[in-house]
Amino acid sequence: MSNGDVDTGVSPQGGGHGQPVQEPPDLPLDFEGFYLGHQEFFHDFAEIHLGSRRVAEQVVHEVFLEILGGWYGLLQQGDLEQQTLAVLHRCVSGRLQHDGRPPAFLINAPIAHNLQAVRQQLEITTSSNGLYEAILELPTRQFTVIAMRYLLGYKTKQIARYMGLDSRTVDYHGRKGRERLRVHLKLPAAPSKTKKGATQ
């Protein structure tokens, strides 16, 4: 799956001391398709948290190995996207906890710059200290939609595909996430656009 699979400790000139070269294992075809379709997103997601492409690649490699180990069970459960996202979340969070540090988007300057744009996109224009921490406290689906839409710039259809949800459900989680952030940050409610014609 990556260069991490190659043993670089053997010199090409040494010929590996007569050790046979092992062929990569045969992977289930549907797993290969899943890997090819999700690896870019998994790497992007891990990198915004871990702050390093190299570390993100290490963690995502572990994620895919875990997914592969339970592949047939995951297929039988019927919610493959949600189960694999849970593995990704857990492995990324575990690495951060192991390293004893906050997610990189709290400290990484380029990502912090992107979050400045997030404030505008989320229509959070007043002082919003704690925005980043508030994003982290969102429920998993809301967090994933907010992170993918505003931090990674993914379109609704892409998010829906990666999360295994309908586009309308993605929009719902995005709205709920934005509302939760507004409440958490004690910001005033946006004026309702449908109030004029509404009768209550």
Tokens of 134: 């508030």
Per-residue model confidence as pLDDT tens digits over 24-67: 567 889 999 999 999 999 998 898 888 888 999 999 999 999 99
Residue 87 burial (10 A CB sphere; 0-12, 13-18, 19+): middle
Per-residue model confidence as pLDDT tens digits over 76-92: 987 888 899 889 989 99
Residue labelled with tokens 């689906």: 141
Q: Is the pTM of this model over 0.85?
A: no
What's the 3-state SS for 126-140?
A: CCCCCHHHHHHCCCH
Residue 146: name the closest of 179, 189, 101, 184 by CA.
Answer: 179
111, 45 contact by CB (below 8 A): no
